[in-house]
Amino acid sequence: MIRIGVLVSGRGSNLESILKSTGSGPIKGARVSVVISNRPEARALRVARRYGVKAVALPPGSDSPDRLGASLATILESHGVTRKEGLVLLAGFMKVLPASFVELYRGRIMNIHPSLLPAFPGLNAQGQAIDRGVKVSGCTVHFVVPEVDAGPIIIQKAVPVKEGDDEDSLSARILRQEHRAYPEAVGLFVQGRLRIVGRGVQVKK
Amino acid sequence: MIRIGVLVSGRGSNLESILKSTGSGPIKGARVSVVISNRPEARALRVARRYGVKAVALPPGSDSPDRLGASLATILESHGVTRKEGLVLLAGFMKVLPASFVELYRGRIMNIHPSLLPAFPGLNAQGQAIDRGVKVSGCTVHFVVPEVDAGPIIIQKAVPVKEGDDEDSLSARILRQEHRAYPEAVGLFVQGRLRIVGRGVQVKK
């Protein structure tokens, strides 16, 4: 059984797609053991509790990178999300993880980003896409490396940008694909089908 | 009747997709009047002649940006591809156009690029995509501005990057979409449905 820790900051819609897929869902062999938010008021914590999953707000003063890494590692390990066998999912977590934490959980941290990376890294990817006038965008699930939005890519899903789209309508269309892509990526991980090779990810049959 | 000039350097596969669509093809109201190559030995010149289209190699010594711009403008204008009513298509043209030429034909020069811009601009976009390990790539038709691969985007088509792909197999898959995208973009232009708005292109119904 792979134990998953999900790091959140916001409303928790990607968290919910993961919660629906694991545990008693279609992804056998994994369950979410803990959800951790840097914001105590994050709606995602309520989502976690609704699914009967432990929801933890980071203690005040966890803001420095060193403290953030230490706090996360402590909470994750104490819920069985170990650096040897666990899986850490970033689901709208708005803090940059310290490199030491990323190294500790190397190859066991995933993030989802609302663009087809390497296009539009960083904040507000959907707004960047609208401003640039692209006709195709999408989402990317990738392993996390210390450099932001630069890790090996597991899954990407494309969506059209339609005439008259604004940031909100494009975000909604991308989000529907995020809710498919993230559980797919977790499923591949749980089945042992992902192998990081160089800057890429090989998906075994 | 919109007269089109196509600038080439290589084998002319995108040229052929344009030649098939214009003239007596499905795009009414446009025909290719001249094909210009910076390389006299380019296979694309033979493709042009096979379709009965005037094929011109740039004179030796057209390499400096100023001379390149002047040579192109002279040949295009003399074949009716005017800066007021013509359309210039880059189809694998391996020279950077001087800004003065781009300004002269402002909003009337298109290029096709084998990636989903802004990802992987510049040379060997397909190899860049393989090296980065993306799972989705594609092609982009855009209006040309002086900055390379940065112009307003008209059409993008996505393709999957499959397990085991190399640069050749990915290039072939993208090329099939290029052969659909470029005639589509030309058709929209000929129908007067493209409007450059800021950094983007509005496609009218």
Contact B186, B111 (CB under 8 A): no
Which chain A residues are within 8 Å of B116, Cβ to Cβ? 116, 119, 134, 136
Single-letter code of the amino acid located at A105: Y
Contact A42, A8 (CB under 8 A): yes
* Whole-angstrom distance, CA of residue B201 vs CA of residue B155: 9
Which chain A residues are within 8 Å of B201, Cβ to Cβ? 133
Residue A65 has a pLDDT of 86
Nearest CA in chain A to B150: A132
* pLDDT per residue as tens digits for the range A101-119: 999 999 999 999 999 999 9
Domains (ranges, CATH) in chain B? 2-203 (3.40.50.170)
Which chain B residues are within 8 Å of A140, Cβ to Cβ? 135
* pLDDT per residue as tens digits for the range B102-159: 999 999 999 999 999 999 999 999 999 999 999 999 999 999 999 988 999 999 999 9
Per the annotation, the verdict on B179 as an active-site residue is no
Q: How confident is the model at residue B49 (pLDDT cuts 50, 70, 90)?
A: very high
Interface test with A, best of B136, B143, B166 (most A CBs within 10 A): B136
Partner residues linked to A88 by β-bridges: A5, A109
- Alpha carbon dihedral A20, A23, A29, A33, in 10-degree steps, equals 110
What are the residue numbers of the active site of A? 113
Integer CA distances (angstroms), B61 to A32, A142, B66, B102, B109, in order: 68, 49, 11, 20, 23
Q: Measured between CA atoms, how close is B60 to chain A, in angstroms?
A: 38
Contact B135, A113 (CB under 8 A): no
State mean pLDDT over A150-173. 98
Contact B156 A134 (CB under 8 A): yes
Single-letter code of the amino acid located at A94: M
Nearest to A119 among B116, B157, B163 (CB): B116
Statement: residue A127 has pLDDT above 90: yes
Answer yes or no: pTM beyond 0.90: yes
Contact A118 B119 (CB under 8 A): yes
Which chain B residues are within 8 Å of A202, Cβ to Cβ? 163
